[in-house]
Amino acid sequence: MDELDPRVRAVCDLTVAEAREYGGRHEYDGLPQDLSHDGVAAGLARLAEARERGPAQGSTAQGDPHDEAHLRAFEDLQRVVYGDLELHRRNPMFHLGELDLACYDKDYAPQAERDAAKAAHLAAWPAVIDAAIGSLDAVPAPVAASLLGGITGLAAGIPADADPRDRDAALAAHRRLVSHVEQAALSGPRETALGAAALAALLGTAEATDVDLGALAARADAERDRLRARLDESAGRIDAKRPALDVARELVRDHPDSAGVLEAARYWTERAIEFTRARDLMPVNDGVCLVGEAPESRRWAMAMISTNAPAERDAPSWYWITPPEESWPAAEIEEWLEVFSATTLPAITVHEVAPGHFSHHQALRRARGDVRRSLFSSAFVEGWAHYAEELCVEEGFLGDDPRFAVGVWLEALVRVTRMACALGVHTAGWTVEEAAARFEADTHLAGSAAASEARRATFDPTYGRYTWGKLEIMALRERARSAWGPDFSLKRFHTALMDLGSPPLGLIGTAIERG
């Protein structure tokens, strides 16, 4: 494994789970991040020491002001997350990432090597969990309640053939963690909100820009209104006499049964990749994306991508699909299967596969320098994939079937409502119940689905990043059209963006300057 620039290494040491899986930095295999109070303090000290040494060196683009700004944003973000806000003390999500064993399921190395890494990682569970229990001393009750199911489900990821002593020790430690979070759910502070200043700092440092939360809320409302108009238009092509959301709620009932979900996902994966290549939308169109049933430890997600990361050897990416369990009540199975409807699954597949995450990560494998290949803005990553959905509507994917556009607008309404609810919960005093009501009013979600989306706001305060990133990319595209005039093309614009890797949103203007 090539040695990283020391400053990039210091950032990766504070984001180990992401560096391992999405950057392909497998020197971290079997070595979970130390999120104890002392471990975090040591990581921040290494971060400061590395930065004091001066501009990025080594295999980065030395002297490139864009890469320096990109790296500084990630350094600043770690100081905000771990130093100023101490989010590892209030949010179990940081610790969940260090207990995830599914990262060893993709084919980045020989099976025996990955099995050994998984075994070493499992053996470290007791230490990781003890550190988590020691650090998680300020968990708000709503956050604990929202994540308790996911924490409890971690035990499903323990391999059945694990060393019995390691398995028993891991399960005992897991029970301690569950008990700790259960207690926080009962007696933790009721206040969930980070507050306006903290949320603005978290968003702004991550994306190398100043954030006006009021303006962001106004953009969310305006985007909601635009999307509702587009939904009305597309649903009207199916039935103009009924409200669009009523039409949409009926459409999502047209789905395969549990046995047909994987085959449907394979079909749409082929169609999305074929369309992206035919329209020449991306700088590269190589790689293999396989479709399979999600590993046990990732069955909380209905659909997700596990990509071939930049530092890994050539290997397939995996589009994981989770059919419902046969043991579930019929109503829950039906609700789960609606995600795989002929209306919503094509849009989800475009997002996860092509020209979304899979296509983006194939381009990332060609990005230059440690910064671009290792540090990924989550708002850009999710914003790009969300932008890809509307791009496919614009370019005529399934243009003769209005269900695809309906699915895109439905997904987009959920994402923009996330932005509104994150702002509401963390800056305007909204309760989870009020956020759920917003989802029921503005999207096709209802009941438990709306409540689940609302609860996510408590532990994922930046989950408005999908819409924010999409809007910034769309705005930049219009700037590129104006700046490049007759020389503008989607291929040129997308290539210029992909060349930057996954840059903070405040830095994406470099694509126009250099494209």
- 229 and 169 part of one domain: no
User: How far, CA to CA in Å, does 328 sit from each of 209, 297, 323, 365?
Assistant: 45, 18, 11, 40
Q: What is the mean pLDDT of residues 166-171?
A: 97
Residue 232 in any domain: the answer is: yes
- 53 and 147 part of one domain: yes
Residue 338 DSSP label: G
Peptide bond into 461 cis (omega under 30): no
Dihedral angle computed from the Cα positions of residues 418, 420, 424 and 427, in that order, rounded to the nearest 10 degrees: 100
Q: What is the mean pLDDT of residues 396-418?
A: 97
Query: Interior CA angle at 289 toward 285 and 290, to 5°?
Result: 160
- 460 and 407 part of one domain: yes
- Does the pLDDT of residue 61 top 50, yes or no? no
Determine whether 133 is exposed, middle or buried from the number of CB atoms within 10 Å of its CB (0-12, 13-18, 19+).
middle
- 331 and 235 part of one domain: yes
Q: Position of tokens 């995830």?
A: 100
- 335 and 415 part of one domain: yes
pLDDT, greater one: 3 or 28: 28
Distance of CA 463 to the CA centre of its chain: 8
* 291-328: pLDDT as tens digits: 999 876 677 678 899 999 999 999 999 999 989 888 88
* 83-119: pLDDT as tens digits: 999 999 999 999 998 998 988 988 899 999 999 999 9
- Does the pLDDT of residue 121 top 70, yes or no? yes
Residue 17 in any domain: the answer is: yes
Choosing from 149, 171, 190, the residue where a domain stops is 190
* 441-461: pLDDT as tens digits: 999 988 888 999 999 999 999
Residue 35 in any domain: the answer is: yes
- 283 and 183 part of one domain: no
- 128 and 262 part of one domain: no
Give residue 325's domain range. 199-469
Other CB atoms within a 10 A radius of the CB of residue 326 amount to: 7
Strand pairing category for 317-321 and 289-293: parallel
- 119 and 151 part of one domain: yes
- 46 and 156 part of one domain: yes
User: How far, CA to CA in Å, does 45 sit from each of 40, 261, 303?
Assistant: 9, 48, 38
- 166 and 226 part of one domain: no
- 162 and 263 part of one domain: no
Residues 6+ apart with CB under 8 A from 15: 33, 78
- Does the pLDDT of residue 49 top 60, yes or no? yes
pLDDT of residue 55: 65
Residue 483 in any domain: the answer is: no
pLDDT of residue 335: 87
Computed over every residue of the chain, the mean pLDDT equals 94
Q: What is the CA radius of gyration of the chain?
A: 22
Choosing from 444, 469, 494, the residue where a domain stops is 469
Among the listed residues 485, 480, 488, 511, the one whose alpha carbon sits nearest the alpha carbon of residue 498: 511
Choosing from 131, 159, 190, the residue where a domain stops is 190
Domain count for the chain: 2
Q: Round to whole Å and give the CA distance between 111 and 235.
A: 48
- 173 and 216 part of one domain: no
**Identity of residue 301:** A
pLDDT class of 58 with cuts at 50, 70, 90: very low
